[in-house]
Amino acid sequence: MTPAEGALRVDFVTGAVAHRLRFGGGRGQDLAKAMGLRAGKTPKIVDATAGLGRDSFLLASLGAEVTMIERSDVMHGLLQDGMARARQEGGVFGEILSRMTLLHGDAKVLLPDLDAEAILIDPMHPPRKNSALVKRELRQVREIVGTDEDCEALMQVALRHARQRVVLKWPAKAAPMPGIKPCSHQILGKSTRYDVFMCSIGCEGPAV
Ligand SMILES: C[S@@+](CC[C@H](N)C(=O)[O-])C[C@H]1O[C@@H](n2cnc3c(N)ncnc32)[C@H](O)[C@@H]1O
């Protein structure tokens, strides 16, 4: 593998993301269901942990307006670059990118002003024991951003400011995030779990 081939980049136009765009399961996918997308209902979403932008791209491809927040300078630069290339590609990519907005900063600071209906939180989790199973890209992101030690504080801010729901993307077998009230329901995948906190019943509440 040449260095260029191995370098981390945001790529919406080829590879895994484009494949999922063509062959994914539409609004029946776990992420879409967790965020509340269904026939006739498309919430305005804030992805508070944009990373490589994959979740945001998927949600935008299903019709959602997505505001992405990324605090790492490096990841933000990679996202800007990948988004510019996708816009240049035009067609369906240009159309999807027209629904994606990227902000640079800490979501704990920016979320209160965004009037989000649904907020997605996908923090960098502590490394799994079997690190050989962790994909190369995830290892590369971790080398850049480390572990998001303040994810509990981010959840607390999100729970105070989402109008409809907060969704925490978390390893399937991990214990619930400490210090956060129990979720309303979970959507369980093979390796990933979505803990959904509905706000119509009061997002804020005593931590447990
Ligand atoms: C696991 S990655 C997210 C992957 C993303 N869901 C995707 O589909 O590519 C976590 C990202 O969230 C960012 N992040 C974590 N906490 C943040 C915060 N408080 N504000 C902004 N960005 C944050 C990290 O810098 C990292 O890039």
Kindly give the confidence (pLDDT) of every residue in the chain, 208 residues in length, as a single tens digit, with 9 standing for 90 and above.
Answer: 444 667 899 999 997 888 888 887 789 899 999 999 999 999 999 999 999 999 999 999 999 999 999 999 999 999 999 999 999 999 999 999 999 999 999 999 999 999 999 999 999 987 765 555 568 888 899 999 998 999 999 999 999 999 999 999 999 999 999 899 999 999 999 999 999 999 864 466 544 4
CATH code at position 100: 3.40.50.150
- Does 107 sit in the ligand 1 pocket, CB within 6 Å? yes
Domains held by the chain: number: 1
Cα 30 to chain centroid, rounded: 13
Is 160 within the bounds of a domain?
Answer: yes
**The pLDDT value given to residue 128:** 65
Is 99 within the bounds of a domain?
Answer: yes
Is 7 within the bounds of a domain?
Answer: no
Is 5 within the bounds of a domain?
Answer: no
| Residue length of the chain | 208
Which residue range(s) make up the domain with 181? 27-198
Is 70 within the bounds of a domain?
Answer: yes
Is 33 within the bounds of a domain?
Answer: yes
71 assigned binding-site residue: yes
Ligand 1 atom at shortest distance from the alpha carbon of 120 = 6
Is 121 within the bounds of a domain?
Answer: yes
- Does 17 sit in the ligand 1 pocket, CB within 6 Å? no
The CA-atom distances, in angstroms, between 49 and each of 22, 40, 54, 137 are: 24, 26, 11, 16
54 assigned binding-site residue: yes
Ligand 1 atom at shortest distance from the alpha carbon of 52 = 9
Q: Which residue intervals of 46-200 are DSSP H helices?
A: 54-61, 73-89, 91-97, 107-110, 136-145, 151-161
pTM assigned to the model: 0.93
204 assigned binding-site residue: no
- Look at ligand 1, atom 11, and give the residue with the nearest C-alpha: 51
Is 10 within the bounds of a domain?
Answer: no
Q: And the tokens for 8?
A: 């981390």
- Does 36 sit in the ligand 1 pocket, CB within 6 Å? no
